[in-house]
Amino acid sequence: MPSDNKLPLQLLDRDHSILDFNARVLECATRPDVPLLERLRYLCIVSSNLDEFFEVRAAPHLIAERNNDDRGTYSVDSFKRLASAAHALVAQQYKLYNEQLQPAFLQQGVQIISHGERNAAQRRWVKSYFDREVRPLLVPVGLDPAHPFPQVANKSLNFIVRLSGEDAFGRENEITIVKIPRVLPRFIRLPSTVSGAQMLFVSLSSVIRAHLQEMFVGRKVGQFSQFRVTRHSDLAVDEDDVRNLRTALRQGLEVRHYGQAVRLEVSADCSEHLSQFLLKQFDLPERALYRVQGPVNLARLTQLIDLVDRPALLFPPFQAAWPRQLTQGQSFFERLQQGDVLVHQPFESFDAVLALLREAVADPQVLAIKQTIYRTGADSELMALLREAVRRGKEVTVVVELKARFDEEANINWAEMLESIGAQVVYGVVGLKTHAKMLLITRREGKTLRHYGHLSTGNYNPRTARLYTDLSQFTADPALTGDMEQVFLHIAGQSKLPRLRRLWLAPFHLHRNLVAQIKALGQAAAKGVPGRIVAKMNALTDEALIAALVRAGQQGVRIDLIVRGACMLPAQVPGQTDNIRVRSVIGRFLEHSRIFYFRSGDKEELYLSSADWMNRNMLRRIELAWPVTDPTMRQRVIDECLVPYLFDAQDAWDLGPDGQYRRIKTAGTDGPGAQSALMGRYRQARRVQDA
């Protein structure tokens, strides 16, 4: 990526940037200003994120290591460096869990007690629980020529046991595998009769460990360890070579849990004999082995958050306000005829989206409803409303993205349900994921048909809408809704897309238009016109956009990038990216909105989008960006979604020229972070509404 008289800029590594993001999340678990159960939640989030990282990102590095390949992006060296970084992060997790969180919980009278810490009454209770609830579900598998190593599912809990003595047939097969069913809870609370005033828990693994010997009558348990294997789980389906994508994906889901092994976790005290045996079984190198001082699946500790009934150890409850541009009870159709409405989630309620759909379903003048579905959850009122719309005779078209990673099964089930009742279900365009978030309603008004639309930066998922920051826009603007209609027709009918008036659509216009917009600002800045870019997104990894930003910055454009996760653009490198600042904000809510602000002189433009600045979003997905043209609404987005984050002194991290993130803590600043300030503002709005 050359620039005038300068060496090419070395981009940051994407996979290491993902691990760096998780290190920032983990830091939230160390903060004393974060309630204790929320600190545990951050720890669990990191564990869950690492699971997905290994399931999706690790395989190419591992294959290169196995093939002794030293060329290209994936190599023996890349595997070594990535494994080293991952091991360091995992070590930080368990150090935090053992040295900070467990002692802090103990001070609160909450403890996970091991077998050695239990008194006689507690051991009797655990023994009774094991006999009643656990033992009947366990089937140890002794390994011999007739019983090879069993299939071990992705991320499942298992025990490996080394036995001495002979089995019932006089053989000395020494290795046995005990698979632990997923239906068993990973943590069990002891009743007050044996725990007293304390809130005591036992882990399932410790319950089984304490009673292993009972499962092997006549033999002696020697070495043993819990273990867990992570497998490559990114479904790959050749869409050009399948007749029915839904059927192909369902078949893929059946074997996903048994893909290529990429990581092995064992107890820290697992013997070398057993760990090497497992590595050989899963065909993994030594660096893929993770010895952990605690549960092999920290993500399952989220169960404690529900089991520990201590509201004071959680964030104070936050109830979203009703969108301030809407009046409860007023018809959405009447309101949108007066102008567009912006909703800022989760500070304002996602229920407004459901209310619009309820009104559309109940209104006899509504003839058709079209919607995209990417992640909506397994239990969704929105899908129930679409089903009711079909029952009432409306034309319902739903674009269901079957390939939404780890939501494939839920989406397949929704697609089958909708098809079975007569809805028109479309699976998008071959080779492209439909990631755009759109809802379009067609209503008869007199002798004409009028469109009402909803566009969003986030998913139609009521649960995550309470946890993610997103922006959505309700509109009756014919230019926007007309474009939305054309996009739906294009996806459903594969017809040639006409020229759109407002929307930027990937993979056709979005990437090209963003590069052109950045380039134009740079050219103007080179002529003395002040230029400004502020872009907020989840990830920045597209090299063409990075190159355009670097060039524009060198031409004088001042650039601020608020990138929550992976970012490959090195900021503030002297002589190359001096004009570019990269900031990551990690708070109570997951930052999810995508906002692109451009200003050249006195002219400013602002776009909202479903797309991150990643190659896949720009070229391998159907994504949307749309302009916020109303000056008041545009200023609101700037004031609420950009400015507070640029000056956040509590939850923000800045990327330095060395590629390292450092948390910003301005001396003498005790003010709230951006999210806290917004919660305070909308709590006040809620009080006014309730008054």
Pairing type for strands 199-203 and 187-189 reads: antiparallel
In 3-state terms, what secondary structure has residue 164?
strand
Name the residue among 477, 519, 493, 427 with its Cα closest to residue 633: 477
Report the amino acid identity of residue 167: D
Give 658's DSSP letter.
T
Q: Is position 115 annotated as part of the catalytic site?
A: no
Q: What is the DSSP string of 210-271?
A: HTTGGGSTTSEEEEEEEEEEEE-------GGG-S-HHHHHHHHHHHHTTS-EEEEEEETT--
Of 435, 454, 490, 511, which is the active-site residue? Answer: 435
Cβ–Cβ under 8 Å, residues 8 and 560: no
User: How far, in Å, CA of 605 to CA of 583, rounded?
Assistant: 21
How many H-runs (helices) and E-runs (strands) does the chain carry? 22, 27
Name the residue among 121, 101, 109 with its Cα closest to residue 308: 109
Bridge partners, residue 506, by sequence: 623
Question: Which residue blocks in 97-242 are alpha helix, DSSP H?
Answer: 102-107, 120-129, 192-195, 204-210
Please list, in sequence order, all residues whose beta carbon lies within 8 angstroms of the beta carbon of residue 506, skipping any fewer than 6 positions away: 611, 617, 618, 619, 621, 622, 623, 624
Question: Which residue blocks in 339-477 are alpha helix, DSSP H?
Answer: 351-362, 381-391, 408-420
Q: Is 431 left (phi over 0), alpha (psi -120 to 50) or beta?
A: left
User: How far, in Å, CA of 498 to CA of 487, rounded?
Assistant: 9
Kindly list the distances between the CA atom of residue 450 and the CA atoms of 291, 445, 454, 680, in Å, as whole numbers in the listed order.
62, 7, 14, 38
Report the amino acid identity of residue 400: V
User: How far, in Å, CA of 624 to CA of 510, rounded?
Assistant: 7
Q: What is the DSSP string of 540-597?
A: B--HHHHHHHHHHHHTT-EEEEEESS-B-PPPS-TTTSTTEEEEEE--SSEE--EEEE
Backbone φ, ψ for residue 541 (5° rounding): -135, -5
In 3-state terms, what secondary structure has residue 405?
coil
Kindly list the distances between the CA atom of residue 540 and the CA atoms of 298, 549, 584, in Å, as whole numbers in the listed order.
29, 11, 12
Cβ–Cβ under 8 Å, residues 236 and 260: no
Please list, in sequence order, all residues whose beta carbon lies within 8 angstroms of the beta carbon of residue 438, skipping any fewer than 6 positions away: 370, 371, 372, 453, 454, 455, 456, 484, 487, 488, 624
Active site residues: 435
